[in-house]
Structure 1
């Protein structure tokens, strides 16, 4: 998912300590059932800067945050980052276990990330804006 492509580096990401712990547990629990999704999430978690929740700056993509983003040259789209049980594409709620969800985690407006899609194509996700997590969504799961 976020494997390096020639000549590119992955952007720095920041994750709240409480979310890092919950997402690490989720990746561990998922490893046997969906190793690809578990690995995508684990790679992002392993490279993240972890901050106490109270020290998280606004504008960082967290669970429950809403981002406007673009993939490659496609039209911009908006989605809320949620835990798998809350995912509902018809309501623009995307699971952190999807390639796009894992890519969004920890990014801020102006950052981009590349990954190799399952078909081998390199895709680029660019974050245009991030709106704060809704307290009830960020705590849900």
Structure 2
């Protein structure tokens, strides 16, 4: 398994995700995350509500998804839960990072973050 850099999570995402972290893989991810104030998360880091284009290097397929909390998941609109295997894998990664991630049925897949778009809503808008 390839060693990747620390994950970066906003304090807000971390607080909400900690409540969901009965998921073992997500719990492992949270335990190695660097938690920073939301306005200090770099623009190229995958967070909740990011639109992400990733490449599954195992299959050569690339997909665009939006990472959401479980209640917002809707595959028809490309919204995937942070608790899904892909969602947990992508969370906190930066553009260009690659992760080897265990999937159900004993498979491991290699995912690469191609691009990240974060639409941050500011109260002054």
* TM-score of the aligned structures, taking structure 1 as reference length: 0.79
Counterparts of residues 18-97 of structure 1 (less than 5 Å) = 18-27=12-21, 31=22, 38-71=23-56, 72-97=58-83
Determine helix, strand or coil for the equivalent of 1:64.
coil
Question: What corresponds to 2:95 in structure 1?
Answer: 109
The alignment covers a number of residue pairs equal to 121
Which structure has greater strand proportion?
A: 2
Structure with more of its chain in helix, by fraction: 1
Q: Contact 2:7–2:32 at 8 Å: present in 1 too?
A: yes
For residues 63 and 117 of structure 1, what CA distance do their matches in structure 2 show?
A: 21
Give 1:17's aligned residue: 11
Q: Aligned equivalents of 2:4 and 2:105: distance in 1? A: 20
Q: Gaps spanning 5+ residues in structure 1: where?
A: 32-37, 137-141
Instruction: Give the distance between the partners of 1:65 and 1:133, measured in 2 at CA.
Output: 7
Q: What is the TM-score when the length of structure 2 is the normalising length?
A: 0.89
- Return 5+ residue gaps in structure 2 as ranges: none
Q: Does 1:128 align with 2:114?
A: yes
Deviation at 1:12, TM superposition (A): 2.3
Cα deviation for residue 39 of structure 1 reads: 1.0
